[in-house]
């Protein structure tokens, strides 16, 4: 997945049927940054990660699955 192309909030493809999931988006004005939010309550804020940190996270969780 190319983070720079996530201009809109994108829901995780692993979203649970009950709505427990996250959404991600490339942050505007922050080259190589990814924002993450709770899709059930998007107004509570976001967490920001560098693209390198986000990629490492995705690699780690894919190994655990």
The whole domain housing 21 covers 3-64
C-beta atoms surrounding 58 within 10 Å: 12
CA pair distance 33, 52, nearest whole angstrom? 9
| Domains in the chain, number | 1
CA pair distance 3, 60, nearest whole angstrom? 17
pLDDT, one tens digit for every residue, the chain (65 residues): 444 455 688 887 777 677 778 898 887 665 678 999 988 888 899 999 998 898 899 899 888 76
- Per the listing, tokens 């924002």 go with 35
| pTM exceeds 0.75 for this model | no
């Amino acid at each position: 997945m190319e983070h720079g192309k996530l201009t809109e909030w994108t829901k995780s493809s692993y979203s649970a049927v009950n709505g427990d999931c996250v959404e991600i988006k490339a942050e505007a004005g922050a080259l190589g940054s990814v924002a993450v939010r709770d899709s059930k309550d998007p107004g509570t804020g976001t967490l920001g990660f560098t693209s390198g940190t986000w990629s490492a996270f995705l690699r780690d969780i894919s190994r655990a699955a």
